[in-house]
Amino acid sequence: MKITGLGHAGMFIETAGGSILCDPVIGPSFFGSWFPFPDNRGLDWERFGAADFLYISHRHRDHFDPALLERYVRKDIRVLLPEYPTDDLESDLRACGYDNLVYTRGGEPLTFGALTLMVTPLRAPSDGPIGDSSLSVDDGTASILNQNDSHPLDLEKLLSFSKPEAYFTQVSGAIWWPMVYDLPQDAKQNFAKLKRDAQNKRAMYYIEKVDAPHVFPMAGPPMFLREELFRYNGIGEHDDSIFTDQRQFLAHMREQRPQQKGYEFVPGTVVELNSGAISVTQTLYTDDEIDRMFDDKWAYLAEQRDGRADEIRAEEATRAEVLPPAEMLAAIKEWWEPLLRRARTIRNGVGGNVRFRIGELDMVVDFPKAKVREYASEECIYWYTIPADLVSTNIRDHEIDWSNSIFLSMQFEVGRSGKFNEFLTTFLKCLSRDRIEYVENWYSEQSDQTEDAQLGDWVVQRRCPHLRADLTKTGKIEDGVLTCSLHDWKWDLATGRCLTTQGHPIRAHAAAEAPAPAAV
């Protein structure tokens, strides 16, 4: 088996039973903000586009690049479609002209001659959202796991496919916290370090559990080449960003797991596996060029910024004309209010007013009353400032996921009163009737009154209230605070209250005491 790195989460897998093109992206993505690091334009995209199968793990635009597909990937290619509860990704692929779809079943192997593969989807509101997946591949000569961005909960089922010899996984998550928040600089630096540490911890959790002999960190970081975002590359010019690169993570991994081998996986890296033997070579860049990209990163990024400004200008030229404030308010009101009326759990979870300053429009979303109206000095729990051309473009395109467009662009600002509110961000990721109904049903099923487990001196519900991870495997208790290692969410066990966001209480009591009702 041969695996070629294509940049970010992209790879080209050549097996004894056919080839698979995975998550190919050149970009830029998210309103011209994200470029793959390092530059991957020099690859032989014509060759990769002639693959036997196309696999798009989820519809986030740093994994799904319609312009690249249109230019390089033949329309009759067999597309491995993950089994998601909504058909958003399928609709996107069909809109690109891809109709030869292979409908995979979650966690069930498919065989094509010598090639056996399995797509394992995740379906929680925060996955993708409502859709992220991993790809397992075995052709008799080798077995690999391409986990990309997904954070699977049932690793035993995933690893029952076969023991992977090579493991490809995200180590640098895609998020806008805390970079775009209205915070003092020292607070941004502190929160950014905590976020980087949490990402490292989560990546190491999976590396330890998968226990593959060969590990390849990928799926980040991006290059920010827009002038106003340039300072947020990597860990930031002022240590206030969150994007750990492959070399930095591998140094961390060597400290934590010296028995496992980690490798840099960049555009043009070729990994060859055969019955336990491995070779790793670089075909696009020399070792000296790769060293410069990581060790003299700011100079490399500056060259990329100066040489690719035309790509940013080209993206800006595709944006919609800015709508007048009254027309924009009417369009959002018509779109969002019917969704709000259906989103009872989300409305209760947000529990207040959210302000949006969009160019000349100043509006409020009143979640308790399911109303959108002009701002009238109401007290608000969150407030956003967003460029009007981005919102106008999302209205024109009816973009149902503002995380997968505006928020990951980092071309906005936000502030909040109190803690992070997952329900608000979920609403802004789920701006369609299908998504809202799925999420409302998903939330209603998350109450777990069926099984408890003892962790140290505490008895807690076995399943994490956030995404139902098994806390006997992912939970750690220190000073009465339970932390789930998958997403670093925390609970005060004495009260059951979630310390990370509103809602999501946990059922817990000291092992020597009778159980008490969970907090609300």
Model pLDDT for residues 461-499, shown as the tens digit of each residue: 888 887 677 888 888 999 999 998 877 889 999 999 899
Of 93, 135, 90, the residue nearest 115 (C-alpha): 135
Q: Residue 187 belongs to what H/E stretch? A: helix 185-210
Region(s) of the chain under CATH 3.60.15.10: 2-312
| β-sheet bridge partners, residue 222 | 36
| β-sheet bridge partners, residue 145 | 136, 167
Structure tokens at 116: 């056996």
Q: Are 435 and 342 in contact (CB under 8 A)?
A: no
Q: Cα separation of 333 and 73, whole Å?
A: 39
Classify residue 397 as exposed, middle or buried by CB count within 10 Å of its CB (0-12, 13-18, 19+). exposed
Topology of the domain comprising 325-443: Nonspecific Lipid-transfer Protein; Chain A (3.30.1050)
Main-chain phi, psi angles of 433, to 5 degrees: -60, -45
Tell me if residue 395 falls in helix, strand or coil: helix
Cα–chain-centroid distance for residue 149?
Answer: 5
User: Rg for the chain (alpha carbons), in Å?
Assistant: 23
Tell me if residue 102 falls in helix, strand or coil: strand
Classify residue 307 as exposed, middle or buried by CB count within 10 Å of its CB (0-12, 13-18, 19+). exposed
Question: pTM, whole model, 2 decimals?
Answer: 0.88
Q: What is the structure's pLDDT at 143?
A: 98
Class of the 2-312 domain?
A: alpha beta
Percentage helix, strand, coil for the chain under 3-state DSSP, each rounded to 5: 30, 25, 45
Amino acid at 417: S
Q: Cα separation of 355 and 1, whole Å?
A: 52
Q: Cα separation of 204 and 518, whole Å?
A: 31
* Low-confidence residues in the chain, pLDDT < 70: 446-450, 467, 514-520
Number of Cα atoms under 13 Å in the Cβ half of residue 243: 25
Q: Are 232 and 179 in contact (CB under 8 A)?
A: yes
Q: What is the structure's pLDDT at 174?
A: 85
Q: What is the structure's pLDDT at 464?
A: 85
Q: Where are the alpha helices (DSSP H) in 325-470?
A: 325-342, 344-350, 388-397, 408-409, 422-429, 433-444
Classify residue 220 as exposed, middle or buried by CB count within 10 Å of its CB (0-12, 13-18, 19+). buried
Distances (CA, A) of 459 to 464, 487, 495, 517: 13, 21, 13, 13
Task: Report the 10 Å Cβ neighbour count for 372.
Answer: 19
Region(s) of the chain under CATH 3.30.1050.10: 325-443
| β-sheet bridge partners, residue 170 | 218
Q: What is the structure's pLDDT at 356?
A: 98
Of 19, 27, 23, 18, the residue nearest 6 (C-alpha): 23
Which runs of E-coded beta strand occur in 345-388?
353-358, 361-366, 371-374, 382-386
Q: Residue 248 belongs to what H/E stretch? A: helix 246-256
DSSP β-ladder status, 78-81 and 101-103: parallel
